[in-house]
Amino acid sequence: MIYRYQCHGCGVEFEARRPIEQRNDPLPCPECGVMTGMRVFVAPFVMDRPFTGVYTRGELARMIAPETDEEREVWRKYG
């Protein structure tokens, strides 16, 4: 999981990928090196329509469809 933290020393916010069981363990700030363990809670993702968890193939295709020639080329190359 990726968690957001705020340093007690310099106040910078940063993200770290950690196992769930280590989410509250102290870790060094990437800016000043102070050990910190203060996790920042962020607002959850909110959708503009009721979430059903189910999308048709057409809906998915429209959501991820490449819009430019460059995006189409990347899509063809990497899927």
- Residue by residue, pLDDT tens for the chain (79 residues) are 888 888 888 888 888 888 888 888 889 999 999 888 677 776 655 555 665 666 666 676 667 776 778 877 877 777 5
The candidate with the shortest Cα–Cα distance to 40, out of 7, 63, 75, is 7
Neighbours of 78 (CB within 10 A): 6
Residue 73 pLDDT: 80
Please give the residue range of the domain that contains residue 11: 2-40
pTM exceeding the 0.85 threshold for the entire prediction = no
- Identify whether 76 is part of a domain: no
Q: State the DSSP code for 25.
A: S
Residue 11 pLDDT: 87
Q: Is 7 exposed, middle or buried (CB count within 10 Å of its CB: 0-12, 13-18, 19+)?
A: buried
Q: In the chain, how many domains are there?
A: 1
- Identify whether 48 is part of a domain: no
- Identify whether 51 is part of a domain: no
